[in-house]
Structure 1
């Protein structure tokens, strides 16, 4: 095995269950770690939200030509965690620099609108437009109109992504909102004819999506969205081992957040560039892609996931390179080999997350739908046990008494009791799965 193959294997083997935050510039990695110890942000949730914010800041202004096709940093990202796991807060904090810019542009828009409305002669004036980045509640037509005067692009944010998909075709009857988004994911030329508003043509549409979801809603989210590749276009962040959140009373370090905001501002202020790819970068990608092609060839699900990851890896490379350059306030249209290796680590992480989603949806085993701590609790229980004994085992693992008791009472799919098995004594439980 040559040096290049060893480097690729090393990058692939570093894949982990949690987001590899060290792919970011050091100041962002430090911010993520600080937020974990102060305001209790899960690192993977915060990192995923930051990745999406960086992609939005870059938007259509920069691209990368890999020799075969050109890509821009369009990411569809879903944060998956149980209700109450604090998904909204890290998403909101990560997007704060762009929200601040939206607020500034809204104030400017109001001033311009006031001046326009008070003008007695509007013949040579154009009505002001509110140029914004973040969309929450909108129609396809209004989104396309906003894109027409914010060519850099937009970010659709939703606390609950199910609301977004449930609103598909809300204003168009049997219209094809889902197909529209599929077309827009590629960032290719898009045009729409509006009733009474005239046609709009977008040369380089850039639409990023970021939102939260609860694990039990994954099946609903995927319903009728697998065969057309809609589901495979999503990147999933599914944190492992989310322990109890214990209030610290400490804020995020202001200097670290200021440094992060400066990176976003530097990107937004930059006019953009098309990055070139040297032979070394192509060889790194080729070595990774050839290896993955052999691995996934005989598995339809892995094959479908990999097809989208081969586009996402270039989008990740562009985002990471721009982030590192922005941290030094020095831009140049070159992608470094180290960044490409980091992109491999990131794409391998998301590949593993995608497999988690498919395994979760395919599994009919109720144990697979337990949280990590609940699964550990279940595995520690003996085959047969009294309720008091089960509660004590749960408490030894950190469960509150009432939580351990409720787990035993509320999971009849996991346990037998006397009503189901007369060989059991009253108050005795039997595990249905070993």
Structure 2
């Protein structure tokens, strides 16, 4: 140490008598920095400057309160991570340093602290401290120490903006977040902050409310029985987390929302869930690359699964006597040619299933050849059982004669009928009947899971009686062809209502993107057929079972079906025969959709109890389908007794694409004058073909009755 510094040190002490703190350069450096000859005493300790910000106020309260307590409990400073550098002012740094040295020598108390200050010639510090002690009531010095620790961690320019109580509350909440459901840990936390002026329960109330909401949502998804729910409510109540009240509110809100959404067939419903599971993520990439959506992909995969399942799958709600004895599903994609319909069905369904069938036949041929070699010279009684011919899993012939033979030979296995174009099937109905009978009855029974073998003149009966069947039908049809088939004269037996329809938006424009095989992120789209082959292979191994529903799922299904039954009654009263017929098939389709989605989401081991999430996906799919059906009804004008003008047909076609059609929409696309088109709107509304919206040049036309309520103009 320099001579000058040594003199300053001696002056500061006032004498050279050794004390507790004589040794060590740290003390010398601290005393030198507070040399009274280099800075006036008023700057060294000025109570009027205290409290200019919360950090300094906390520092003062920490030491004054600590000295009031006879300097006992210094370890609390250390436990909070405080050292002499924590403090801004030299006075607090010096006091901390002296206290720490005395503490290490196990001689820390008020008398020894004052002795050291006197030895250093700092009686003025002692005097000022005593004044503060006299005017101060008993201070919570530990809270002040806590404040110093936390405020010291804040940026310099923000220390005086933060309330220590806010910081303390945040610290408690951060710790409580991780132990809110652990009674012992929460009690330890309460004990840790026992001396702090906070109301623990009041502080944790918002956190408990937050967790009550989180847990209530989880319970909604877990599909627990009433008894299990009661037990859960009791467990959480022990932690002062009142989940039951929140759960009941959520149930009520959910039912009210369902009542509002159930459902406007003229308004496309919003998806609430991903229809396909994460395991089928490559399917999403593929359908995006060819311009289709997840709804179409899900529907055709469901039909494929329905076709390759073995017979015997069923789904039921016994309490209501609702049961579907098979999971057959017929799907038709309605879209114009050139919309990538063939690649969609080919890559996702036809090609992978055909590949599996080819492998089955290859194995069968090899087994048959081996059997023939081994049993060639044996008597029939000595021969081993002959290999069984594999079932016919996919076929292109939709005639009822071919289907009856296949079901008789398949011995408990289903079949998928794959038709790229279904127009020939629909046009060929009743081709043998010459106006007598109805082939549609056969396909209605096929959807129900039963087949009555047909009889032809000169042909032996292929079966005596009725046999069960499981099937899927999948194909496409163009809108114009469907229009010629679909109308009031074709309804009555539920044939069209048994089909699941997907109508591709005729106004949609899309340019397919063909992935580069070198792009690793898109390899899944290139090999999607191989990927789906593995998926269908799992489905083929499943054994038949009867699906039921968890308690929340059952409640959801009952609620939805009751509302749809009311809507069907309303359609009947209003003379909307086509809409009524489709709504009457809602129950059976919904149950089947639930079972098929359960299999698709859990192909390795589907649970026998279907959860509520699966039911919500099924309902949303069906709501979309019925929206498509309503659009098809609006496209069909064949039920009009008089021939409609060509311009009116164009308006109806446009109205199926847009919410509201305006005169300029028709003018731009077809060249008709807007004022003439607006008069058409009025005339068409009088004919009951739709509704007018707005006035004057803003007059529009809609087939959507809800648009009038929304008052877009």
TM-score class, shorter-chain normalisation, is 0.7 to 0.9
| 2:494 equivalent in structure 1 | 229
> 2:418–2:474: 8 Å Cα contact kept in structure 1?
yes
1:319-334 paired onto structure 2 within 5 Å: 319-326=596-603, 329-334=604-609
Structure with higher helix content: 2
Distance 1:232 1:73 in 2: 15
3-state SS of the aligned residue for 2:549?
Answer: coil
> 1:112–1:128: 8 Å Cα contact kept in structure 2?
no
| Deviations 1:191-239 (CA, angstroms, capped at 9, x unpaired) | 5567336415554311211111111111223265312221111111012
CA 222–123 in structure 1, closer or farther in 2 if over 3 Å, else same = farther
> 1:79–1:211: 8 Å Cα contact kept in structure 2?
yes
| 1:70 equivalent in structure 2 | 323
1:205 has 2:469 as partner: yes
Work out which of the residue numbers 493, 504, 509 in structure 2 matches 1:243. Answer: 509
Please report how far the alpha carbon of residue 69 of structure 1 lies from its aligned counterpart in structure 2 after TM superposition. Answer: 3.7
3-state SS of the aligned residue for 1:298?
Answer: helix
1:92-241 paired onto structure 2 within 5 Å: 92-95=346-349, 96-111=351-366, 129=389, 131-137=391-397, 139-150=399-410, 151-170=412-431, 176-188=438-450, 190-192=452-454, 195-196=459-460, 198-199=462-463, 203-222=467-486, 224-240=489-505
| Deviations 1:45-86 (CA, angstroms, capped at 9, x unpaired) | 333322212222335242212211432221111101112112
Unpaired runs of at least 5, structure 2: 1-247, 679-699, 702-713
3-state SS of the aligned residue for 2:490?
Answer: coil
Between 1 and 2, higher relative CO (CA 8 Å, sep ≥ 6) is seen in 1
| 2:610 equivalent in structure 1 | 335
| 1:351 equivalent in structure 2 | 626
1:254 has 2:506 as partner: no
Please report how far the alpha carbon of residue 6 of structure 1 lies from its aligned counterpart in structure 2 after TM superposition. Answer: 3.5
CA 70–316 in structure 1, closer or farther in 2 if over 3 Å, else same = same
> 2:309–2:470: 8 Å Cα contact kept in structure 1?
no
1:368 has 2:632 as partner: no
> 2:330–2:498: 8 Å Cα contact kept in structure 1?
yes
1:268 has 2:545 as partner: no
Distance 2:286 2:671 in 1: 35
> 1:129–1:149: 8 Å Cα contact kept in structure 2?
no
3-state SS of the aligned residue for 1:46?
Answer: helix
Please report how far the alpha carbon of residue 14 of structure 1 lies from its aligned counterpart in structure 2 after TM superposition. Answer: 9.6
> 2:352–2:533: 8 Å Cα contact kept in structure 1?
yes
3-state SS of the aligned residue for 2:610?
Answer: coil
> 1:87–1:212: 8 Å Cα contact kept in structure 2?
yes
1:85 has 2:329 as partner: no
CA 197–379 in structure 1, closer or farther in 2 if over 3 Å, else same = same
Distance 1:134 1:282 in 2: 34
> 2:275–2:298: 8 Å Cα contact kept in structure 1?
no
1:280 has 2:541 as partner: no
> 1:32–1:47: 8 Å Cα contact kept in structure 2?
no
Please report how far the alpha carbon of residue 180 of structure 1 lies from its aligned counterpart in structure 2 after TM superposition. Answer: 1.0
| 1:425 equivalent in structure 2 | none
| 1:422 equivalent in structure 2 | none
CA RMSD of aligned residues (A): 3.9
> 2:334–2:478: 8 Å Cα contact kept in structure 1?
yes
| Deviations 1:249-277 (CA, angstroms, capped at 9, x unpaired) | 44664388355443322221122321123
CA 8–145 in structure 1, closer or farther in 2 if over 3 Å, else same = farther
1:306 has 2:590 as partner: no
CA 122–165 in structure 1, closer or farther in 2 if over 3 Å, else same = farther
CA 381–290 in structure 1, closer or farther in 2 if over 3 Å, else same = closer
> 2:335–2:504: 8 Å Cα contact kept in structure 1?
yes
> 1:277–1:334: 8 Å Cα contact kept in structure 2?
yes
167-176 or 80-89, which deviates more:
167-176
Q: How many residues align?
A: 392
Please report how far the alpha carbon of residue 349 of structure 1 lies from its aligned counterpart in structure 2 after TM superposition. Answer: 1.4
| 2:224 equivalent in structure 1 | none
Please report how far the alpha carbon of residue 154 of structure 1 lies from its aligned counterpart in structure 2 after TM superposition. Answer: 1.1
CA 83–113 in structure 1, closer or farther in 2 if over 3 Å, else same = same
265-274 or 57-66, which deviates more:
57-66
3-state SS of the aligned residue for 1:199?
Answer: coil
| 2:202 equivalent in structure 1 | none
Please report how far the alpha carbon of residue 161 of structure 1 lies from its aligned counterpart in structure 2 after TM superposition. Answer: 0.9
| 2:688 equivalent in structure 1 | none
